[in-house]
Amino acid sequence: MAKTGNNTYKRQDGNWEGHNIKSDFNEKLSDDCLLQNQNFTEGTQLTFGEAAEQWLYNASIRIKTSTYASYLGVLSNRILPIMGGYKLQTFSSSLIDSFTKTMLSTGRKDGKGGLSPKTVRDTLVVVKSILDFAHKSNPSASDLKITYPKSGRKLIRVFSRHEQNALEQVLKDKPDKYKTGILLCLYTGLRIGEICALLWKNISLDMGVISVKQTLQRVKNMDKSASNKTMIIIDAPKTICSIRDIPLSSNMVRHLSAFYTGEDGYFLSDSRSGITEPRTLQNHFKNYVKTAGIASANYHCTRHTFATRCIEAGMDVKSLSEILGHSNVNITLNRYVHSSFEQKREGINQLEKLFE
């Protein structure tokens, strides 16, 4: 087995594996962590894999567990199998360009072609972060420029008003917690992990306010001794701006009140121990969409649709940005606000009024 650090190995099948990484998910770093904080005493004689271990060790102290798991997955599955054994002193722009072309053409693990430009860009961001870390720790290490692949703008699904009305009819017919939770997302823009982690104590029916304080998601279980390959974590939202208060309409307060029992549990289960996974809610959502007779959509469509309806109703972008939990209004404008066909038609019709 090829070895790049204390406990990271290249297996016979070509994949890289790390042992005992964050065995306790309640701690950012445990005493028996895989990565040891080494100094760059060997300078450019270090391999990229060794530099990656040190970078990940330093990053683990300040990042969320879910982010750590994401970084580890990118390193283990995409970067280290190809780049891990190279000495830092041999790194060049042409080497990274070759890596980029490989990812775009044959980067999929299932052998069915290449990765999307967006995925390759995200992978290269990790590569660049490691190289910057190595260069900062030892200026003799390479400081390279990276060319990122261009990607076309991805079309985002937004329910038309007709589709939203059809879906809401299904959600309001014999309502239950799942249906009401989805309706809540359509009128607040909550992310699926946020609604799954929502507690009744964070809902003030008297004040008509929801306080978003945590999110729930399933991540890879990095404890190799565990029987389950994945695990559920409940953590703070993705950014400080995502910790926010969202006002509720009077109709939504009425819908929520019908399910309030006085218990201090999760909204979707009325229990402190029983949780609803995002995948479970996503499956319910897809069934409701199918029942409504509208085109297929993923759960995040509720968030896109909420933002679009708010703009159509005349809400200012700054307020909408804060409700969505964005750090600036440009994210809201560029990613989540989409003009509907009805708006475009109305704009065209306004031209005729100029000559009446």
Residue 114's domain comprises 2-137
Q: Are residues 165 and 115 in the same domain?
A: no
What is the model's pLDDT at position 336?
67
Residue for token pair 């600036």: 328
Q: Are residues 83 and 176 in the same domain?
A: no
Judge whether 37 lies within some domain. Answer: yes
Three-class secondary structure of residue 135 per DSSP: helix
Between the CA of residue 236 and those of 65, 130, 217, 300, 309, what are the distances in Å?
A: 10, 26, 11, 19, 27
Q: Same domain, yes or no, for 211 and 129?
A: no
End-to-end alpha carbon distance in the chain: 80
Q: How confident is the model at residue 34 (pLDDT cuts 50, 70, 90)?
A: very low
Q: Please check whether residue 147 lies inside any domain of the structure.
A: no
Query: Who's near 240: CB < 8 A, 6+ residues apart?
Result: none
- Give the pLDDT band of residue 3 (cuts 50, 70, 90): very low
Residue 151 lies in a domain: no
We report the CATH number of the domain holding residue 242 as 1.10.443.10
- φ, ψ of residue 201 to 5 degrees: the values are -70, -15
Q: Which residues contact 24 (CB under 8 A, 6 or more apart)?
A: 30
Mean pLDDT value across the chain: 83
Residue 148 within a domain: no
Q: Report if residue 153 sits inside a domain.
A: no
Q: How far apart are CA 309 and CA 322, in angstroms?
A: 16
Asked if residue 225 and residue 322 are part of one domain, the reply reads yes
Looking at per-residue confidence, does 262 or 214 come out higher?
214
Over the stretch 154-200, which tens digit does the pLDDT of each residue have? 778 999 999 999 999 999 999 999 999 999 999 999 999 999 999 99
227-256: per-residue pLDDT in tens?
A: 888 888 898 887 899 999 999 999 999 999
CATH code of 42's domain: 1.10.150.130
pLDDT computed for residue 238 by the predictor = 76
Same domain, 214 and 285: yes
Based on the fold, state whether residues 113 and 10 are members of the same structural domain: yes
Domain end, chosen from 137, 152, 175, is at 137
pLDDT, one tens digit per residue, over 115-136 is 999 999 999 999 999 999 988 8
The pTM of this model reads 0.76
What is d(CA 144, CA 96) in angstroms, rounded to the nearest whole number?
Answer: 9
In a domain, 68, yes or no: yes
Whether residue 213 contacts residue 202, with contact meaning beta carbons closer than 8 Å, is answered with yes
The answer as to whether 352 is a domain residue is no
**Amino acid identity of 53?**
E
Lowest mean pLDDT across 9-23, 58-72, 316-330: 9-23
Q: Report the domain count for the chain.
A: 2
| CB contact at 8 A, 66 and 60 | no
Whether 123 is covered by a domain: the verdict is yes
**Domain final residue pick, 93, 122, 137:** 137
